[in-house]
């Protein structure tokens, strides 16, 4: 039986749900999906400028797993840039140590150590949980 994939630890959720290119009618947009752990791998390597070994530790995965996730992230981003596709940051196999929500009214991220029922910014109850994935 295959060993279940270990969940990758992510420090914080992406600030936006995705990106879309200029000059392409919205109806023709085909998205590339970037998983949360792929976003995190890019963030650690190319934004935080970490070494792969340290980034792998940060995400609680082996170095080969990290390399695979990071490579897939770069391929997806390159594909979106070259082919003019939108990028959706969604899903994946990850866990977090705190609670993340996106407010469906003001679209801001709400993060904290405890579960919340209302948006910190606009008090809306329309919060979508982001730190869990099925």
Give the chain's radius of gyration (CA, Å).
16
> DSSP alpha helices (H): ranges in the chain?
36-42, 52-58, 63-83
Nearer to Zn ion, 53 or 105 (CB): 105
Q: How far is the CB of 101 from Zn ion (least distance, A)?
A: 9
Q: Which residues bind Zn ion (CB under 5 A)?
A: 103, 105-106, 119, 121-122, 124
Identify which of 121, 8, 124 has the alpha carbon closest to the alpha carbon of residue 73: 8
Residues contacting residue 87 through CB under 8 Å, at least 6 positions apart? 18, 19, 20, 31, 32, 33, 34, 76, 77, 80
Report in angstroms how near the CB of residue 110 gets to Zn ion at its nearest.
7
Q: 6 vs 128, which CB is nearer to Zn ion?
A: 128
The residue among 42 and 119 lying less far from Zn ion, judged by its C-beta, is 119
Alpha carbon distance 88, 33 (integer Å): 5
CB 111, min distance to Zn ion, A: 13
Length of the chain: 134
Of the candidates 13, 18, 30, the one whose C-alpha atom is nearest the C-alpha of residue 130 is 13
We find the least distance from the C-beta atom of residue 106 to Zn ion, in angstroms, to be 3
- Which residue, 78 or 126, is less far from Zn ion as judged by CB? 126
């Amino acid at each position: 039986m295959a060993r279940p994939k270990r969940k990758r630890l992510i420090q914080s959720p992406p600030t936006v749900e995705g990106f879309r290119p200029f000059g392409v009618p919205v109806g023709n947009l085909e998205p590339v999906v970037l998983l949360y752990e792929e976003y995190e791998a890019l963030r650690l390597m190319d934004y935080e400028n970490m070494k792969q070994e340290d980034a792998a530790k940060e995400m609680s995965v082996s170095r080969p797993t990290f390399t695979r996730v990071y490579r897939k992230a770069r391929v997806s981003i390159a594909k979106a840039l070259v082919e003019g596709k939108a990028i959706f940051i969604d899903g994946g196999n990850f866990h977090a140590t705190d609670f993340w929500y996106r407010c469906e009214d003001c679209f801001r991220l709400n993060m904290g150590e405890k579960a919340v029922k209302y948006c910190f910014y606009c008090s809306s109850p329309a919060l979508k949980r982001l730190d869990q994935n099925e």
